[in-house]
Structure 1
Amino acid sequence: MDHLRYAGLPFERQRDILVEIVRGEPIVHDVLRAARDFGLPQWRIVAGVIYNTVWNVLTGRPSGHGVKDIDLFYFDDADLSWEAEDHVIKRGHDAFAGTALPVEIRNQARVHLWFPEKFGEDYAPLKDCDESIARFSSKTHAVGIRLEADGTIDICAPFGLDDIFSFMVVPNRVLYNEPGYNEKVRRALQCWPELTVEPW
């Protein structure tokens, strides 16, 4: 199987292929529908379940191979308390009870409050959910999708999609996160040895 068959194509073509892939994979499309019904502000399904699903489809691996959970981001700066986010997380237990994998819900408006303690580096407050995607430790991982009310799929990919379709893992050095990047690389290579990795 030619897993690199979509590498190097224009962004618009790769976007269409990504949409086709996620529509055909219940593991992704079911959670998109559930997230749309859940109705969080500025929500997106992000990162692993998206690019991992692409790699699985293009290498003929089973649906869900290597995917631990599904990350659901949203942005609500009206209440930055942990209690408000925790309330959303608890409501999500019922809303996503029928999905194939656990759904991890996180309010991106709160990241600057806990990031320095966890990672030892300052983190400027975000203006919106999409800005957080541009700060991921890998440009390859920086992708988010949302199912709109009209059924279209909106894609946020600040660094494009070619790294995903080229099976390249490329660091994003906007923040220092070499340990996190290296750990993601180590795990990814165990699941998809076809990957080429750019060192931090």
Structure 2
Amino acid sequence: MQIRRATENDAEALLKIYAPYVEHTAITFEYEVPSVEEFRSRIRHTLEKYPYLVAEEDGELLGYAYVGPFHDRPAYDWAVETSIYVDERKIHKGVGGKLHDALEQVLKTQGILNMNACIAWPDGEEDETLTKNSGEFHAHLGYRMVGEFQKCGYKFHRWYNMIWMEKIIGEHADEQPSPIPFSQLEDIHF
């Protein structure tokens, strides 16, 4: 399996991975599958500042991972919100872990200090649209629970909670250098 930088040309294949999550799960609270052009735009916009990575094997895209700002104000520049999606046929085969490891290494190179995950969480029992797998996956990677919001997401005529999990990946200093935009990192190897 190879991890590489995503390109806009990956949009159609990545959208095929993402669409079932939109249509059949509460893992994402997006209601409508975006167009290929919208997905291209999201990749392009993310790559200006942050990593957008894909896992590929024998020409097949297995999953992808990217980050966005934790919050838009400059005081939050050292914190990001992570997202990882794996082809449903490739779950539990190590794809997500490899993507996350590569993502974490790139973020450390950039000078990012906090990785945050906003995760849809069942309000009570798991159901056919949402399990606790994502929270358990993140805990396995060293994240800790930092908060839970009650019934704040509505999809499929049900209310879902959100949990925030966080992983500290760098040292916080009084004179913290600014993070390096991903677009300025040339020689990154995964």
TM-score (norm 2): 0.32
Higher strand share: 2
Higher helix share: 1
TM-score (norm 1): 0.31
